[in-house]
Structure 1
Amino acid sequence: MLATLLNIAFYASTALTLAIILLSPSRYTASSSAQQDESGKSKATVQILVLGDIGRSPRMQYHALSVAKGGGQVDLIGYHESEVHPEIVSHPRISIVALPPHPNCLQTSNKLLFLLFGPLKVLFQIGCLWWILAYRTKPAQWLLVQNPPSIPTLAISSLVCLLRKTNLLIDWHNFGYTILALKLGDTHPLVRLSQRYEKFFGRFATAHICVTNAMATVLKRDFGLHAPVLPLHDRPADHFQPIPDQSTRNAFLLSLPQTAEPLRALVKTNRLRVLVSSTSWTADEDFSVLIDALCRYSALAAQEGDLPSVLAIITGKGPQKEMYLMRIKELEAAGKLERVTIRTAWLSMEDYARLLASASLGVSLHTSSSGVDLPMKVVDMFGAGLPVVGWNRFEAWPELVTEGVNGRGFGSAEELLGHLVELFGDDAQLEKLRDGARRESTRRWDGEWNPVAGRLLGLY
């Protein structure tokens, strides 16, 4: 315990000292942010900041690739913890600037310790962000910031942009205060403070982009933003593509260790359906809904005999994963998943795309803390031509899924069970949704990005 406290004191004092030193005006030098291409024409220089793992931030990676394709120069700033898109690593106009990882001793799921460690973690991040944005990287014309997380990103970014005369562009994926409310409750003072903080610093941006029309409405109406607010819907990247041929899908599934064993026994009889769900194993996705529905499905399949078995592949990492894995193991031991096999996987970007294209049905458990954001996983599923069933009890859902055309919504384990029974028991209905998902797969990122963000940045 003493060692932990000493570590905390060390990192806190280091971060505070670093912040004080770096705030010294004598260390700050500004320079022209404009660069030129071979023809002498000026091109955009863009810093893209995500206070998270770059590899698990696909939208920010897509931003970087789009800027680079348009001739711009990109510094992609964030934690470099997992694999990023191969084109980003090899692209000559994209540089990855890794943020130093925060100390493990400041990570906790305990509510009281979270309140204690939170400010210390923020102090550490403040020092790291200021060092990267104000000193290690050159000034840019634009700083594109992912929100959330909001604290301390928006405050530091606003100050750096003011000093460097950089245009601040906020990409609103959700609201930080609504996510914080999942842990602390809507009425907690820190949640209210976070909301005021987000609204205040949001007004310093030159422009805003956001993931839904509903979110744009909230930003204009409730946040009082006067700068342009442009909806930019998520679309899949090019590596998400449908695989029309069933034999090719089966061959890929047989090549994966997580799927090969059950497939070898059942794929020849066509009495198996492959269900895929991607989750961050956090509180905003109630994974028990899917587990409950699969248990009930197993009982029905064993009783009626006409329903196919289900292989459920769950991808992703997160804090609640071990808790759910233990629960699944207990259900398997009790015989509650006799006709259902659940496997977890962490795949490369390419294998994940092929898994989606090879599966029978995708499931989204994203519940939306704000009601106006949308799950990127559904976009990827559509890109691979995979129909989706997803939690639909939030306002923005119809902007993504057309009910009965490319997917279906549910609001309980009972509704999800009904969809599984109906779709897995009737190939025609499942194929109808797959046709809709394939049509949706033709809508791609570049077609959405170029006339919105590309035009704003002066690239298109």
Structure 2
Amino acid sequence: MAIRRLLSLMLVADEAHPTGLPAYVVLLATIFIAVAVVALFRASFQQRRATSSPTVAVVVLGDLGRSPRMQNHAWCLAQAGYRVHLVGYDDTPCHPRILSDAGIHITPIPAPWVDRHRKKFPGALFLAFAAVKVVGQVWSLVRVVGWEVPGLKVIVQQNPPSIPSLPVLWAVSVVRGAALVVDWHNYGYSLLALGMQTRGAVGRGLVRVSAAVERLFGGLARASFCVSQAMQTDLSTRWSVRPPPIVLYDRPPDTFTPLPLSAKHDTLFRYLGQSLESSSPDADLQPGHHSAFADVLAEASGDEVAWPAGVDRSVREVSVLTAVECADRGRGRGRVVWREGRPALMVTSTSWTADEDFGLLLEALVKYDDAAERWGSRLPPVVVLITGKGPLKASWLRSASRHRFRGVHIRTVFAPAEDYPKLLGCADLGLCLHYSSSGLDLPMKAVDMLGCGLPILAHGFPTLAELLHEGHNALFFDDAASLATALTSVLEGFHDSPGGAPRLCRLRQCAAERRPGSWADEWNSKVKPLMETLMA
């Protein structure tokens, strides 16, 4: 069956999407990879498998710490009793529950050394850079997944990236007798197209190669998952993927939940201190401030706290948004309250890549700042907290620094995995700038925000309706003007009541009522039965 698909897909072009590639190119590449793997490792594979317990390799050709969905796969597999090797770049620490799970082994692959020398390959030399990088990645995947992972039974691969991971892992699965399962997050070729827009015919050729490889080897997988119903339909109809992918919606882990006011104060104080002047827009926030109430805040479950011994009962500790004050001096009881006239907090997370338009955000913030100046107290100041790191971050911050904002304050942070849900839980509003390169994926950041009960302003595209309900838990925008309009409409009258602006309150209530189910429930109902079959 695999051979028939290999031949048919190389000979038949996709009429709806002219991304065909000469058959001999794909065939030669396939033969080269497969023969190399077979020649080097076949005998050793058979011996190692016979002496090892069955293992699932969860593979990300990227930073493991910034791949939450694949971490979630690894965690659920381990909870189901399987031995798991989580394979990828070990740049950012994984979540503590991953690091502490005895059933999960972090198996790093080295990041391509050539990435450090990217600037030495300008213009047409980009092809040489890409070739050297791919060769190194091929070797790393073959060495680690093909040799170092013992008893390999199933490979669960994140896609994208597609090249070289799809053909290499397919070849490894054939040689080792393992099942390849592809988790489709998006299409690799559509993301590549964003970066190839200025490279003319060479860029278009690379996109065609990527699409052909992705279609060919993605269709050879034993099974697959995808993140939306729209993507399942596209994969099964346009690319004839069989069996049709299982729609596995992202769900927030249990750590993404609404926070009580006491926990908000502790988190905000640690990262922002007592005022915005305690931090700089030119550097990432660090959790360097220590609250005098940290111990009692950790034990509180709402807005009331015990007054700590040794702290004067006339003290009032403030963060940018909240304050702790003594409500009953006789009984030594305190409470956490919102600060009067506080700013609104809007949070967004990003990888700072081309599929998010931060130029649009900057233009919208300028418009909001102008509106706040005209409207006076009807609109609050806004703290925009941007989490994440990536290639476009420095240039955007330089652009933002040229604007003299009056009521907009931009701060950036790259928080450890255990603090990211807390920062989301402190916010009044979530912002999702993700615009799907394929039109078919769904942003996990929006899922995390829903888990924390946040209403969301989201860059709209059709598939997003599978996740967000406009006017209920989200408002959609498509340009800077509509984002600025949505932001002003949500925050108008923010200081009229302790709960915030009327429209924001309605959206927040709907967001709380429509919180998605758990990842564990989604995984256990859809993935666990498949894994039991593949591991049998």
Structures share fold, TM-score greater than 0.5: yes
Matches within 5 A, 1:23-422: 23-25=39-41, 28-31=44-47, 45-103=55-113, 104-108=115-119, 112-185=124-197, 188-243=204-259, 245-257=260-272, 260-261=275-276, 264=319, 268-305=339-376, 306-331=378-403, 335=404, 337-392=405-460, 394-422=461-489
SS at match of 2:462: coil
Deviations 1:111-148 (A, max 9, x none): 53433200110001111110011111113221000000
Q: Aligned to 1:350, what secondary structure does the other structure show? A: coil
Q: Does 1:448 align with 2:522?
A: yes
Count of aligned pairs between the two proteins: 432
Specify the SS of the correspondent of 2:485: helix
1:366 alignment partner AA: H
Q: Contact conserved, 2:158 with 2:185, CA < 8 A, in 1?
A: yes
Instruction: Tell me how far apart the structure 2 counterparts of residues 223 and 135 of structure 1 sit (CA, whole Å).
Output: 31
Equivalent residue of 2:396, what SS?
A: helix
Give, in whole Å, the separation in 2 of the partners of 1:73 and 1:421.
51
What TM-score do you get using the length of structure 2 for normalisation?
Answer: 0.76
Query: Is the 8 Å Cα contact of residues 301 and 308 (structure 1) preserved in structure 2?
Result: yes
Distance in 2 between residues matched to 1:272 and 1:34, nearest whole Å: 62
Q: Describe the SS at the equivalent of 2:46.
A: coil
Change (3 A) 1:260 1:94: farther
Measure, in 2, the Cα distance between the counterparts of 1:307 and 1:34: 68
Larger Rg: 2
Are the counterparts in 1 of residues 42 and 176 from structure 2 also a CA contact under 8 Å? no
Instruction: Give the AA of the match of 1:346.
Output: F
Output the amino acid matched with 2:385: I
Deviation digits for residues 19-66 of structure 1 (CA, Å, limit 9, x no counterpart): 969842576332585999xxxxxx963110000000000000000000
RMSD, matched Cα: 2.5
Structure 1 position 397, deviation (Å)? 0.6
Give the secondary structure class of the aligned counterpart of 1:74. Answer: strand
Deviates more, 1:436-445 or 1:67-76: 436-445
CA distance 1:97–1:23, change in 2 (3 Å)? farther
CA distance in 2, matches of 1:146, 1:34: 27
The residue type paired with residue 308 of structure 1 is P
Deviation at 1:356, TM superposition (A): 0.5
- Of residues 98-107 and 136-145 in structure 1, the stretch that sits farther from structure 2 once superposed is 98-107
Change (3 A) 1:383 1:35: farther
Does the C-alpha gap of structure 1 residues 359 and 211 become closer, same or farther in structure 2, counting only changes over 3 Å?
A: same
One-letter code aligned to 1:158: W
Between the aligned partners of 2:427 and 2:117, the Cα distance in structure 1 is 39
Distance 1:232 1:259 in 2: 42
**Contact map agreement 2:59 2:88 (CA 8 A) in 1:** yes
Matches of 1:86 and 1:358, distance apart in 2: 21
CA separation of 1:204 and 1:26: change in aligned 2, threshold 3 A: closer
One-letter code of the match for 1:80? D
DSSP-derived class of the 1:396 partner: helix
Deviations 1:183-238 (A, max 9, x none): 11397011111111111111221111000000001100111112241100100011
Contact preservation (8 Å) 1:278, 1:316: yes
Maintained 8 Å contact 2:274/2:320: no
DSSP 3-state at the match of 1:441: coil
* Structure 2 CA distance for aligned equivalents of residues 210 and 156 of structure 1: 20
Compared with structure 1, are the counterparts of its residues 271 and 382 closer, same or farther at alpha carbon in structure 2 (3 Å cutoff)?
same
Cα separation, 2, equivalents of 1:404 and 1:344: 29
Unaligned runs of 5+ in 1: 1-15, 37-42
Structure 1 segments (4+ residues) deviating >4 Å:
19-23, 31-36, 108-111, 262-267
The share of aligned pairs that are identical, in percent, is 37
SS at 1:357 equivalent: helix
SS at match of 1:256: helix
Separation in structure 2 between the aligned mates of residue 266 and residue 208 of structure 1, nearest angstrom: 45
